[in-house]
Amino acid sequence: MRLADFISRDMEAIVAQWEAFAATLLPAAARIEPMGLRDHAQQILEAVAKDLRTSQSSEVQREKSLGGGPSLIAASETAAQTHALLRARAGFNINQLAAEYRALRASVLRLWMDDCQPENPDLDDVIRFNEAIDQALAESVTCFSAQVEQSRNLLLGMLGHDMRSPLQAIQLTASYLAALNAGERVSEAAGRLIRSGARMQALLDDLGDYNRTRLGFGINVVPKSVDLADVLADEVDELRAVHPERQIDLHVSGNSQGVWDGQRLQQLLGNLVQNAIKYGAQDTPVRITVTGDVKHVRIEVSNCGPAIERATLSRVFDPLVRGADQQGGCDSGGGLGLGLYIASEIAKAHHGAIEARSDRTETSFSVLLPRADEAG
């Protein structure tokens, strides 16, 4: 018997085995009724059978073997994707989703081969069946991953939003205590609260910016005419106040006037300097150089210290990538590993570019920003 006919004839037995295997995928399966465990199995199998009955040229088969074949016929795409969505929402993980397809493949082939005895099964049916299952799996995995990513981004957005109100209450209370002049111990405690609150606020800001970029909105900028020398000098003053033990030098040359989002560029500079302070040599200065020419302004932040490994350097602007004991690495200060990523997104939002260089003598992050006529 051809495999497509066998699938249609023995559909109930195959789906029953699918259900039995799905029931073992704990803990998520324990919360689902039997019909839910069978979710879309029959529709996926019907589409596979229809695909097996459809004539296929050698060229199409070759393309499918390379992963470039057309989508499965009829409802297969909808069934595979909907199955993935429901599994993701039910709490299954991606390994369990893939395991369902592995078990389905094995049970169908085993049942069919037993049914074919004493005749040999059709080899072309085996190949076509594996191709169809692989396509359904690929569709499911793609949709499952997208659903998980969307859920994670929504969670991050809600978390960042809901934490702001209690944090603001803490900051306001700390500021009130600091203003009371109720003694040195109270003032010191209030100061610690204020500094910790500011740090938490920065983390939430990073989280919110990261979430915007992952949802496809990018970093929001509001450009206006600013003198970058004044804007960055204000940020450097704050950084010096926060890190009085570190020397932070700022040198400006050339024309620094342009149309940019000053607050965002302060954020960019702050992230780069914080990175240099954390991972540079503690007894050497952090150097900030701002150079303006006719079309661009370049901001460069440099520090001495251990070189960034080449593998880490190539991914240093990726989100949540941190290499132990490296710049952009393991954040002993409790950061999220987003500072350099957000700096790069701010540069992109200004139609600029950022790059990193590192050797045994110096590590440098350089940002090139076009002026208004270039960025607009």
Are 265 and 180 contained in the same domain? Answer: no
* Residues 32-44 pLDDT 10s: 888 888 888 888 9
- 218, 345 Cβ separation under 8 angstroms: yes
Residue 109 token pair = 């082939």
Are 209 and 253 contained in the same domain? Answer: no
Are 90 and 233 contained in the same domain? Answer: no
% of the chain at pLDDT higher than 70: 83
Domain count, the chain: 2
Look at residues 195, 217, 239 and tell me which one is the last residue of a structural domain. 217
Rounded CA-CA distance 232/250 in Å is 9
Are 257 and 360 contained in the same domain? Answer: yes
Q: What is the pLDDT of residue 376?
A: 41
> Which residues form the domain of 299?
224-375
Q: What is the pLDDT of residue 159?
A: 67
Rounded CA-CA distance 192/199 in Å is 11
Are 48 and 2 contained in the same domain? Answer: yes
Q: What is the pLDDT of residue 157?
A: 63
Q: What is the pLDDT of residue 187?
A: 79
Report whether the peptide linkage leading into residue 27 is cis, meaning its omega lies within 30 degrees of zero.
yes
| Neighbouring residues of 4: CB distance < 8 A, sequence distance ≥ 6 | 49, 50, 52, 53, 125
Q: Which residues of the chain are under the pLDDT cut of 70?
A: 61-78, 153-162, 164-165, 199, 202, 211-212, 214-217, 320-337, 372-376
Look at residues 217, 243, 260 and tell me which one is the last residue of a structural domain. 217
Rounded CA-CA distance 141/144 in Å is 5
Are 133 and 282 contained in the same domain? Answer: no
β-bridge mates for residue 252, sequence order? 290
- 363, 307 Cβ separation under 8 angstroms: yes
Are 175 and 32 contained in the same domain? Answer: yes
Are 90 and 178 contained in the same domain? Answer: yes
Are 33 and 164 contained in the same domain? Answer: yes
- The strands making up 363-370's β-sheet, listed across from edge to edge, are 248-253, 286-292, 296-303, 363-370, 353-358
What are phi and psi for residue 305, nearest 5 degrees? 145, -175
- 290, 299 Cβ separation under 8 angstroms: yes
Q: What is the pLDDT of residue 329?
A: 41
Rounded CA-CA distance 370/376 in Å is 9
b/e code 206-236 from CB counts within 10 Å (16+ = b):
bbbbbbbbeeeeebebebeebebbebbeebb
β-bridge mates for residue 249, sequence order? 287
* Residues 122-160 pLDDT 10s: 888 898 899 888 888 988 898 888 888 777 766 666 666
Are 198 and 240 contained in the same domain? Answer: no
What CATH number corresponds to the domain at position 189?
1.10.490.70
What CATH number corresponds to the domain at position 231?
3.30.565.10
| Neighbouring residues of 154: CB distance < 8 A, sequence distance ≥ 6 | none
Rounded CA-CA distance 22/86 in Å is 13
Helices (H), 30-122: 34-37, 41-53, 58-65, 76-90, 94-116
